[in-house]
Structure formats: structure tokens, C-alpha cells
Structure 1
Amino acid sequence: MKHRLSTTMLRGVVTGFAAVTLAACSQETSMNSETPQTASSALIERARGLEAPQVEQRPVTIEQVGFTRVDEFQWIKDENWQQVMREPEALQEDIRAVLDAENSYLDAVMEPTEALQERIFQEIRGRIKEDDSSVPQPHGNYEYFTRYREGGQYPVFSRRPIDPETGEPAGEEEILIDGDAEAGDFDYLDFGNVEHSPNHEFVAYAVDTRGSEYYEIIIREVATGAVIATLTDESTGDFVWANDSSTLYWVWRDDNGRSKRVYRQNRNGGTSELIYDEEDPGFFVSVGSSDGENYIVINAGGHTSNEIRVIDAADPAGEPTLIAAREEGVEYYLTEATDRFYFRTNADGAVDFKIVSAPLDNPGRENWEDFVAHRPGVLVNGVIGFEDWLVRSERENALPRIVVHEYATGEEHEIAFEEEAYSLGMSGGYEFAVDRLRFSYESPSTPEETYDYNMRSRERVLRKRQEVPSGHNPDDYVVRRIMAPGHDGVEIPVTILHHRDTPIDGSAPLMLYGYGSYGITIPASFRVTPLSLADRGMVYAIAHIRGSMARGYQWYLDGKLELKMNTFRDFVSAGEALAAEGYTSRGNIVAYGGSAGGLLVGAAVNLQPDLFAGAIAAVPFVDVINTMSDAELPLTPPEWPEWGNPIESAEDYQTMIEYSPYDQITETAYPHILATGGLTDPRVTYWEPTKYVARMRDRRTDDGLTLLKMNMGAGHGGASGRFDSLRETALNWAFALMVTGLADGEVEDIAAE
């Protein structure tokens, strides 16, 4: 299903690590091999002399499924939180005072590193080509692309005419949507879907100016630039055009932040027509189009099952037709071919998914025929359909591959790659009757390369190599893949990046990144941000732990529900293996994760606090029991299949309470902690990191740092501008350098300058 700029309502948006994917460079290395055990950190000693906020305790006793717990900070959740998501100024004053005090304390602690943060920010920004643009995608007599201007914070969506015979540009750029102009005086701006109409005369786009993920859908006439309608300000940012270029289908978000309904509406506004209404609070709705753009596709899905309805895109007044009714544990995803539908599905026990096909006029499950059989351990990760080709992405043993199938001959071939660890992406574009596949290749040391691949001749043409303005030599870095032994004998893939001059003798500090939920797999891709750590002598590693699908769908199943503890133990095992192999040493690791990855960080430091020098928990899902017991929160009912339901099940409650970071904070010594949050975040609400920091500071027995950075004008993704978000990364990196002893010398050097 085509869905070019979707908004996914999961705790699966990873901040910080995955937020920036443009360019990187090599800086002069500043190596400091002292470990925090031996380094005398003046920055840490200074910070210990500052007075931290003490949050008032108002204990509440909660009885649930036979268990009792006491929450002394539950009052930090505003009773009118739904209003706060839309109107941040409505926050209770006593809660605002807590957040302001935490931000002031963080600023005071990090004040000596401000110049270091600025240096890191400028380094990362220097690796980004500011006037960058995407490789254009042809569609009819135009090619469409996105670009940034020099100094611009937001994308510019554009097109230019092309010669239909040669495919070459045949005219000047036309700006469809100017992101910088749209931002205006707003402190926050995020685009949802952005799509031109099939007749190329109109462009529709979704914008959120609060960070709450409620989007306006705006329609412009391309020829004049005039806004002709604003359809709604209650969408998920998810919509699609019908083929008449007059009708749009869009998804509505309810007061609790859930995507529940699909509406049909004319581009000129007017009355919207309800097309689909999802009654199950555990299912969210999305809308898109099939690869050949002949069908509008409505998907209603939970974590373990879904069902799809289609509407003839040439008959926008038509009614949705159900493909196959939802069935517990069965997922299926649609791809259109010339005369058949193809489905990627786990039906019939296909744990790692298989591909089946069915006729367009009778696509029900009773007519599904195996096309690519299930192969245990080989995950079918995605499918793109063309008129003559079906392309699938697969993953085996944490490495991706692309396989091309020709319908006429039945022949298949794989596109080959050689590095030890790498990442692939692929795109079908707007056009269906073509032999061209666009794919991208990158690794932690190799900037992204975008290719057009001729599936018939098997020739690849490099269309773009990610440019690094300040310079980047991949040979300056080493990329490795090791298999860490897990607590139960499994092997956990770990991707490693370090500067070639960093000694691998146990003396280097290390940042260990992980996620490990929802089946989301963190790729071994090129990131501009970790290079600022690598250039200073810090090793950077990604643990591909259970709860992801790095080693197939079973890898995901083995890290959820009653097996969730495997995720956290795998992360600890990865850290211990990295220390054992000399990449770092125990107590010299900074744990880093965002969203559900923040849960990972919180659980890991509870399990093995002495393994870590510090921990960065970005928008962390740490108050697990309370959140999963609140059925009004946007993600709670949909995520019971992921975590369990502690409202009804004593077993689920017991499982969660044993790893919930907030509930497992004990009176012991902990690493230095930095947690972040966003006031209007609907996925991980602001009170989770706030409560976590308050309880951690109250219970820890050492004098380590416990810090909270609350963004008062943003949601789950943090600051929206591409450069503003880098300042948040610079703060995180300065914290990591400070707690591992690497910052002291550099701060002194900067002061001397």
C-alpha cells in the first residue's frame, strides 16, 4: 500500500538517534582514554554542588487485580490532559512550576557545557548539506521533489516539468508548499502527508503546529497558490486523493488521540461523509492507495491482527469492500499487480510472513494462493508491486536484502551488497508500468547512496550520493558486527562504529543504543550525529535485541508480553559482551534509547546499574503499569496485545511490575540520568519522565545526577526544525561526554580559546 508520509500512532517514533539521516564528516579527534572510574570530573563535582528540585509527594494508594501500589507523584498528571495536548497554556500552575524548576536545574547543571554543545551542534550541522534536495520522482509530465534552502528549517515541496520523451527537465521549478513560509511565527511545525492530485492541479498537505499530532488538511490550487479549503483540524495527517482529483479520503483522530474514522470530502470543503468508523479501541485506522493507484485502501489494525477494505479509486462514491475479516493473530498487507492482489501475511502459521496472491474480483482469504512460501528465519519485510515485477525486501540474521521477481518468467534475482553491516531502503515511486526500482544503500560509515535499478537489464545508476560539506572519509571509521551471547544462549547482533584511532583495549567509553519493541528494527545506517562521539574517542553501538525483528518475527515474539524481560536482558548482555571484547569497560557505558527505547534504558539500569556510567532516556515510556491501566490514553487499548492488560489480568500486572522502570526504582546507587519529554506528547505523556525523575532523585542512594529536560512547546519528536532538533542532540551528547569524563578537557580547551 502506498503511504508516502504516514503518521503512525505508536511509541515507535524513536527520537534523537533516528531523527537525522543526512550526511556526516570527520573532525579532528580528541581522544581521552581515562575511564570515569579514574577520571576526576570537575563538571560532575560542580553539578553535585547545585541544589536539585524536590518535587512534592502526594501519595495515592492504588488497588488493582489483587495488588496494591502507592504512587506519590500521580498528581503530576493534569486531570485535563486532553485539553493540555491542544492548549499547552491550560496546564495546572503547580505542575508547570515543577517542569519549570526541572528545566532551570538542568540549565544550571549543563551551563558549563554550553560552548561544547554549540561546538557539537556546529559539527553536526556542518555535516548536513543545507541546500539539499531529494532525487526527483517522475509522474506524468512532471517530476516531484523535496528540497531545503540554505539556512532553512523546513522542507520545500516542489516540482518541475519534464520532457515526456526523454524524461529530462524541461522547465523551471514550481514551489508547491514552502515549509519555511508555513512555519511563520509558529514555534512548532510538522508535516503529515503531502500529495498532489492525480491531474497535477492541486496539492493537499497536513500540518500540526502544536506537537499534539492533530493535523489540519489544507488544499491549494497549484496555478495560483491560493488556499481553496481547509478540510479539518482533527486529522491524523493521513489522507489520499481519489482518481477524480476532486475527492479526498482522510482519517479523523478522536479526543483521546486515536485514529478512528475515515471521511470522504470534496477538495473545496463542504460536508464530509463518514465512510468507515472503527468501534474497537484497540484498532487504529489508516488510509492509502494501492501501488497501481487503482484502489483506495483502508486498513484497520491492532498489534496482532488487521483487516483491509478497498474502494475503486475511479469510483470515489463507491462503498468499501472487505478483503478478509480480522482474525486474532493474523496480519495481511496489500500490494496491487496488473491482474491480481498480492498479500504479505503471517496466515497459516507463517511466523516470518509469506506472500500470497488472489484475483482482483474475488480476493477473499479462501482464494489466497501461496506465491512465496514461508521460510523460517527469513522475514518478508516489505513488498512493492509494478506492472511486470514484484519486489520484496527480506531480512535474515539482521541483514537486509532486495529480491526482484518477474511475473512473466517466474525468475528471481537478488541485488547484492558486501559490507559487514548495512541498511537498505526501496521505493516504487508514483509510476507503475516501469522497469525502474529506486533503492538506497548506506552503512554506519558510508553515506547514503540512491540508485535507480533497471530490473530488466539489472543495471544500477547512482542518482545521488549523500554529500558531506565538511568532508567525510569512510576509511576513518571502523564498522563491525559481533554476536553477543545472551543470558539464555541466544546470539544478539550488535553493530559497532568507532574511529580507527580509538584503542580497543577496554579504555574507551561507549554509547549503547537500543529500542526493542513493536518489532521495529533499528537499521545499521549512516547517521551524522554519532560521528561527533566517535571523533572524540567514544565507541557507538546498536544492540539488535529481541522485541525487534532483526532476526525474524520470532525474534519479536520472544521479546513481548510474558517474554518482555528478554529485551532488557539482551541489552545488558550486549553491554557486557562489548566490555568483554575490549570495546569498553564495565561502568563506562552510556545507555541511550527513546520512547519504548526509553523503557529499555530504564529497565536496564534497574537490572544492572553498575554497568553504566550514564543513561539518556528520551521521551521514555517508563510508567508502564499506570499507563497501561489508563484506558483513556491514546495508546493503551491498542497496545494491550503488545504489553498485556493489567486492568483485567493479574498475570499481566505481575509481569509488567517486574520490569516497569518507575515501579522498580530502589534504594541503590544509579548511573547519572538524563530524561527528556514534550509537554504535548500524546504517545509518551509528559508526566512519565517527570514522575520517573522525581522518584529516581528521591530514592537513589548516591549523589549522581538526575536531570529532566521538558520541551514546553513540542511533542514526541521534540523540536520540529531540522536544526533546532540538533540542539537537543547536542545536549544529549554533552551529557554523555560529561558523565564519561570526556567533556572536562574539551570544556577547559574551549574556555582557553
Structure 2
Amino acid sequence: MTDVLDKTAAPPVAPRRAHAFTAHGITVSDEYAWLKDANWQEVLRDPTVLDRDIRHYLEAENAYTESLLGHTAPLQKKLVAEMRGRIKEDDSSVPSPDGPFAYFRRYREGGQHEMFGRMPRGGGEETIVLDGDALAKDHAYFKFGGSRHSPDHRLVAWSADIKGSEYFSIRVREWESGRDLDETVEETDGAMVWATDCRSFFYVKLDDNHRPMQVWRHRLGTPQADDVLVHEEQDAGWFTHIHESTSGRFCVIAGGDHETSEQRLIDLAAPDTPPRLVAAREVGVQYSLADRGDELFILTNADEAIDFKIVTAPLAAPERANWRDLIPHRPGIYVIDHDLYSGHMVRLERANALPSIIIRDLASGEEHAIAFDETAYSLDTMGGYEFDTKNLRFAYSSMTTPSEVYDYDMAARTRILRKRQEIPSGHNAADYVTTRIMARAEDGAEVPISLLHRRDFSRDGRAPLLLYGYGSYGHAIPASFNASRLSLVDRGFVYAIAHIRGGTDKGWGWYLDGKREKKTNSFDDFSACARALIEAKYTSTRRIIGHGGSAGGMLMGAVANRTGELFSGIVAEVPFVDVLNTMLDDTLPLTPPEWPEWGNPIESEKDFRTILSYSPYDNVTSKPYPAILAMAGLTDPRVTYWEPAKWIARLRATMTGGGPVMLRTNMGAGHGGASGRFNRLDEVAIVYAFALWAAGLAGKGEV
């Protein structure tokens, strides 16, 4: 490939190949469009078919990144050892009871992948039915999808992806013999729901564009070609998923995009019957349901309930006209989720970026809350297999407190600590401080920032700081414990999370204020957080490393273009930086479902201009940039490998100083990076080594 690069210490130079397109009267140049393999669908299934010139270019970028960061290899090795030392290698989940058994997940000492097993409910000999390490030994990549034991406890349906492309194959294994049945269901999303008679299960098949559009029923002992199509979504902008209802009575077919949803029910005792519609789709109306006897409990934003409410409806007539408020809408109190048990309803709420769990006695209507006292923390319900129970399992952690799993008696209001995350190398929470400050955005919005630092930290403006952000799809970043972060914090870093608009950290309205025509609020909020941290003397200009992945990688690209002078480094993992081109290509897996999030630039000139105004790839300018590390996965179906490749190529050709800019593509993985819990640490170590290097700490014997 003579026109691409000279493989020396000099950075690779991607050739500019003339390519332009015109839409809505606007002409856009895309001279690096050739980096998108025309055969990309097949590359997802078989990475070896990647175009040779593109492969050579990606490999040259990897070599260049290695040439710049290779001197940090001892540091990376030490970081991995530290992070691994904080992992209990033979860790196990708290067993979850279901009938005569209690089911669990476990790792063996030195194991990369989970094992799935069970024991008699009252205790006794354990049985391992799925050994992830054994299943992964013949594959460079291996990741479990779903696993679900049959109602009679004889079988377990399980799925795995061996390419990183998120095509999951489903198999069925006998518990007693440990043998897989002679059948495989290919190209699914990995989930499955058993029929009551255990003779069949439901699954979702991915189409040729990697979209989950069809629900099928597979009968044991028959080939996949004989499976029955149960439901097919006709709108390419809608994705379809399935799960078992709270009572276990139904398979729920949940369809939707980022604004609208619709659900159907299949009676698992009569799996041949057609799915029954709950409430017809209405643009902008979202809902999800839980069932109890002949009544549905529905979480919805209907009737302008921006932060959601809970209604009830009779199972026999569940349409909108019969919805009745149970938990009315309360502005500023965002109802995240709800779960149902035979005698209680549980809902997870968030107000001002802090979560709480609310328990409601369904007989009396009396409610009480579970909350904690730290200034920033994470709280989540964990669910379980059993419906007729008074026990709720939930998890708590903070940025200083390792995860704690509790069983909570919803009637007696008592809790039992079932597990505390063990840090084998030792962890004293008192050595660290977690706190929260607010940043004021340009329009006056108050943006929360969660902070972690050592107790002996001096707030003099000299510390390096890693600022993490996401800010899309309504995804809130919890202030939870992450043992790996301590490797930065113990080296003097402050670790900060910017709870910017585009997430639901402060309610659904916080999300709406960071999407489509308001998307730039996300970028402005992140920059405001950086400035607030500088003003509060937690750090100083060019001592900040920005970090984000996927849509958070888009945030990183936009911030680099807009306020890059605040940062010494930017890490963008699997970054969604070629927003305009991706939203114009309706053959890509996620494009049609993403239009409600970003806008449809094919049909709308306004949306085209809005996206063009901030898309990181399209807004690279001739100015200095901070050092940038972009990380990609070759088989990523969510953010395709060519997005960061094109972005880095254009940055390198356009920027007038600063840098360097680097691209590292995992040639054997997808959106989630390397498979295996320890292999993933290698990639975290690269990120942290880059952060230390960008902060000036990795070139001075800091190992």
C-alpha cells in the first residue's frame, strides 16, 4: 500500500481520496470515506475479509500508537497488576433462589470468564453447568449473552458471541448431563424466554443489517429453519427485544425507539397463541409494564408526565383509555424503573442526581424509602427469579465504598448484608473522599460533578484530573465504586464525573435538554464542569484529561474542537465522531432507531444543519489540539471502526500543533473491547498510562 504510509516512527498518513456529497443544497467533503469497507456487513461476521489496504492502514496506526506509548509498557504492566490485585479472582454472586435451587455465577482463580451453577436451596453440593473458560478456550474472543434455566430446572438456554460483533448463538444444555442438545439458533440478540412446558423458547433474530426486528419461537428437537415467526416489526427505526414478565406468566415483546414504545404479551402457558397488544404506539409516549394477577402496573410518560408516573390497567383491557394513575407525576422526581412482587411494588427514583428505592405495600398503599447518607452514591435493585416473596435484593456503593449487596424484607423493613465487594490487596475507604460540587453552565443550568480523591489531597490547583462524561440517550452515570480508578487516584489524580445534560441524572427533562437541536448543551456542560473544577482549584488548565466512550466519545470529539485548550489529553473509546455520515446511512445497524435521538438528516434540512454544526469529524479545524487517544473495535456494530479512523486521519492532516493524535484498533473485538475480565484490564491500563503520560507523570520514572 505505497500511497498510505512509510512504516517508520513518523505518523501514518492516510491518503485523501476525493469524495463529496450534496444534500439539502449543502456539499460536504469526505476525503477519508475510503476507510469504510464496502463489505462491512460481512466484516462483522468474518473480520478476515477486511479490505487489505484498510487493514494495513489500521495496523500502521496501531504500530504508531505503540511507538509513542511503548515506553509506558512497564507502567501498564504495573497498572494491570494493581487492578488485578483488587479483584477477588474466585468471586461469586449471592445465590438467587428459584424453587428447589439457588442459582449463582462464579469465577475460578485465574479465570477470565464466568461459570454458571446452582445448589440445593437449603445448601449442599454445587453443580456447574456452563464453564466460560472451557467454552472460550478455542476462540480469540468469547462473551456470554444470556442464560436462562427452564421452568422445570432440567435445561438451560445460553448464548455466546465469538466475534465481538454481537451476533449471539443460542444453545440448550442439560443440567444433569452437562451436554448440549443437537441444535443451535444463530444470529440472535442473545436473549431467550422459555415457554411454561419447557418444549420451546422465544428469541429475537437479527436481520442482515444487524437489527433486532423479528421474534421467533424455537421448538426443541427441530432445526432453526422450522422455527415460527411470532412477531415482525415493520419500522426499521424500531428495535425489538423480549423478556419474561415480573410474574413469569408472559413473554413481553418490547419494541421502540428513543421516544416511543409499544409492548405485546404472549401467554407462556399457551405459546402458540398470537401476541396481544397492550397499548398502541403513540409518538412520544413510552411505557413499560409489570403484571400481577389480572392487573398491569405501567410506567409511562403519557399525559406529559415528563419524569414518568405509574398507572394501572386491567389485563383484559389494557389500552390507554383504561389507564388510571397510581403514582402521579411529580416534576423533578424521575421514576427510573419499577418492579412488582405478589404483595409489593418497588420503584427506583432519582432526584437531583441521587437515587432512592421506594417500597409500596399493595394492600395498604403505605410507602417507605431506602436511602443512604453519602453525598454521592449508586443504588440499584437486582431483581430475582421469584415473584411470591417479600425479599428485595439491592446493591449500594459509592465512589469510596465497594459494592454491598443486601436482602431487604419489604414487610419487616429489615436488611441483611449478603455480600461486600472484597478488595484482596486492601482498601480503606477512610483514605478517600467523595464529594459533589455544581458547575454553572452558560445558560445558568446547575450541572452536578461527582468527585473522588485521596483524603490527603491538597486543593491547590496543581493536581491532574480525569473528567469523565457521557450525556446521551438518557443514560445517567452513577457515582459508584470502581476499583480500577484507584490506580489514578493513588497517583495524585482527582477523578470526576460530569453529570451533563443528555443523561437523566436530574430527570427526563435533563435528557431532553441535551438532545437533537439542544445537543450542544452536553458539550457546553462538560466544558463548564472543566472550568468549575479549575476555579475550585481541584486542577488547572491543561491538567485535565477528558474521557468518554461511544456517544461519550462524540462528546470528547466535540469538546476537543470547541474547548480543547482546557485539556492536556483526550481519551475517546469507540467514539461516535462521524455523526453526519452515520445518520445519513440508513443501512447501518443503529441509524434508523437513532433518528429520534439525533435527528434525521436525510429528510430534514434543519436536522442536517444541526448535526453538521457539531459532528466532530466535520468540525476539525486548523488549530492546536490536545493529545488524543482514540480506541476502536474492528467488529463493532454500534460505532463502526471507520469513524475513529477517519477522525484521526483528518485531525492529523488539519491540526496546526499540539497532539500527538493516536488510533488503536482492537482487530479482534467489538464495542466492548477485549473479552475476559483480565484482558479488559490491559485496555484500561493503556487508557490510564496515556492519562498519566498526558499529565506529564509517565515519562519521569512513574512506574
TM range (shorter): over 0.9
Alignment partner of 2:339 out of 366, 384, 387: 384
Given that residues 254 and 263 in structure 2 are in contact (C-alpha distance below 8 angstroms), is that contact kept between their aligned partners in structure 1?
yes
Return the match for 1:670 from 593, 617, 625. Answer: 625
Q: Between Structure 1 and Structure 2, how many residues are aligned?
A: 694
Which residue is equivalent to 1:251? 204
Correspondence 1:212 to 2:170: no
Q: Deviations over 1:269-304 (max 9, x none)?
A: 331000001110000000111111011110111110
Give the aligned partner of residue 578 of structure 2.
623
Post-superposition offset of 1:703: 4.4
Cα deviation, 1:144-187, whole Å, max 9, x if unaligned, reads 0000000000000000112xxxxx30x21111111001102201
Q: Verify the 8 A CA contact 1:509 1:740 in the aligned structure 2.
A: yes
Structure 2 residue 678 is the aligned partner of structure 1 residue 719:
no
Q: What does residue 4 of structure 2 align with?
A: none
Distance of 2:455 and 2:646 partners within structure 1: 41
Instruction: Give the deviation of 1:436 after TM superposition.
Output: 0.3
- The one of 129, 135, 157 equivalent to 2:94 is 135
Preserved CA contact (<8 Å) 1:668 1:700 = yes
Distance between the aligned counterparts of 2:283 and 2:184, measured in 1? 35
Q: Which amino acid aligns with 2:22?
A: E
Secondary structure class of the residue paired with 2:433: strand
Task: Output the amino acid matched with 2:207.
Answer: D
226-235 or 484-493: bigger deviation? 226-235
Aligned 8 A contact 1:116 1:746 in 2 = no
1:181-212 per-position Cα deviation (integer Å, ceiling 9, x unaligned): 11022011111110000000000101100011
Equivalent position of 2:112 in the other structure: 153
| 553, 565, 577: which one aligns with 1:610 | 565
The residue number in structure 2 matching 1:193 is 146
1:556 to 498, 501, 511: 511
Counterpart in the other structure of 2:240: 285
Which residue is equivalent to 1:9?
Answer: none
Preserved CA contact (<8 Å) 2:355 2:371: no
Tell me by how many angstroms 1:529 deviates. 1.5
User: Could you tell me which of 490, 499, 503 is aligned with 2:458?
Assistant: 503
Could you tell me which residue of structure 1 aligns to residue 520 of structure 2?
565
Report matched runs for 1:10-29 at 5 Å: none
Match of 2:691 in 1: 736
**1:584-599 to 2 correspondence within 5 Å?**
584-599=539-554
1:226: Cα distance to partner?
Answer: 1.4
Q: Distance in 2 between the 1:478 and 1:85 partners? A: 44
Report deviation, 1:572.
Answer: 0.4
Residue 164 of structure 2 corresponds to residue 225 of structure 1: no
User: 3-state SS of the aligned residue for 1:227?
Assistant: coil
Q: CA deviation at 1:701?
A: 0.6
CA deviations over 1:95-122 (Å, ceiling 9, x no partner): 0010010011111111110000000001
Q: Which amino acid aligns with 2:504?
A: M
Question: Within the alignment, does 1:447 sit opposite 2:411 as a pair?
Answer: no
Contact 1:244 1:316 in 2 (8 A): no
Tell whether the 8 Å contact from 1:217 to 1:231 is kept in structure 2 after alignment. Answer: yes
Deviation readout 1:495-548 (Å, 9 max, x if unpaired): 000112222110001000000000000100000121110000011000000000
2:650 aligned with 1:695, yes or no? Answer: yes
AA partner of residue 155 (structure 2): F
Tell me the equivalent position of 2:254. 299
How has the CA–CA distance of structure 1 residues 122 and 107 changed in structure 2, closer, same or farther, with 3 Å as cutoff? same
- Give the superposition deviation at 1:744: 2.1
Give the AA of the match of 1:156. M
- Between the aligned partners of 1:324 and 1:363, the Cα distance in structure 2 is 7
User: Which residue is 2:3 aligned to?
Assistant: none
Amino acid at match of 1:220: R
1:422-461 pair list within 5 angstroms: 422-461=377-416
Q: Does residue 51 of the first structure (1) align with residue 10 of the second (2)?
A: yes
- Write the deviation string for residues 670-711 of structure 1: whole angstroms up to 9, x where unpaired: 000000000000000000010011111111111421101100
Q: CA separation in 2, counterparts of 1:694 and 1:172?
A: 57
User: Which of 72-81 and 650-659 deviates more?
Assistant: 650-659
- 1:63 Cα deviation after fit: 0.6
1:653 matched to 2:612 = no
The DSSP-based 3-state class of the residue aligned with 2:616 is coil
Distance 1:492 1:173 in 2: 48
Aligned equivalent of 2:315: 360
Q: Which residue number corresponds to residue 19 of structure 2?
A: 60
* CA contact 2:626–2:658 (8 Å) conserved in 1: no
> Does the CA-based 8 Å contact 2:442-2:528 persist in structure 1?
yes
Q: Which has the higher contact order (CA 8 A, sep 6+)?
A: 1
**Displacement of 1:238:** 1.7
- What residue identity is the alignment partner of 1:224? S
Q: Which amino acid aligns with 2:508?
A: Y
- Output the CA distance in 1 between the equivalents of 2:128 and 2:170: 18
- Once the two structures are overlaid, the 10-residue window that deviates more, 702-711 or 544-553, is 702-711
1:229, 1:267 within 8 Å by CA — same for their partners in 2?
Answer: no
Distance of 2:16 and 2:183 partners within structure 1: 46
Maintained 8 Å contact 1:390/1:404: yes
* Inter-partner Cα distance in structure 2 for 1:229 and 1:722: 30
Asked if 2 retains the 8 angstrom alpha-carbon contact of 1:558 and 1:564, the reply is yes
Q: Quick one: which amino acid aligns to residue 151 of structure 1? A: G
What CA distance in whole angstroms lies between the structure 1 residues aligned with 2:429 and 2:60? 43
What does residue 31 of structure 2 align with?
Answer: 72
One-letter amino acid matched to 1:323: V
Moved over 3 A (4+): none
Which amino acid in 2 is paired with 1:157? F
Do residues 546 (structure 1) and 505 (structure 2) align? no
8 Å CA contact 2:561–2:616 kept in 1: the answer is yes
Within the candidate set 503, 506, 525, 2:480 is matched to: 525
- 1:421-466 superposed Cα distances (whole Å, 9 cap, x missing partner): 0000112300111100001100000000000000111000000000
CA contact (8 A) 2:147 2:191 kept: no
**Per-residue Cα deviation, 1:204-251 (whole angstroms, up to 9, x for no partner):** 101100011111000011111111143321101121111111110000
Partner Cα separation in structure 2 for residue 137 and residue 681 of structure 1: 33
2:64 is equivalent to residue 105 of structure 1: yes
% same residue? 52
Give the superposition deviation at 1:644. 0.5
Q: Is the 8 A contact 1:216 1:230 kept in 2?
A: no
Q: SS in structure 1 opposite 2:483?
A: coil
Would the aligned equivalents of 2:468 and 2:496 in 1 still touch at CA under 8 Å?
Answer: yes
- Identify the match of residue 173 of structure 1 among 102, 126, 133: 126
- Report the alpha carbon displacement of residue 647 of structure 1 after superposing the two structures with TM: 1.1
Provide the rounded CA distance (Å) in 1 between the counterparts of 2:464 and 2:403: 27
Q: Is the 8 A contact 2:143 2:675 kept in 1?
A: yes
Gapped regions of structure 1 (runs ≥ 5):
1-48, 163-167
Give the aligned partner of residue 443 of structure 2: 488
Shift of 1:59: 1.9
State the Cα deviation string for residues 371-420 of structure 1 (Å, max 9, x = none): 00000010000001000000000000000000000011110000121000
| Cα distance in 1 between the residues matched to 2:603 and 2:101 | 55
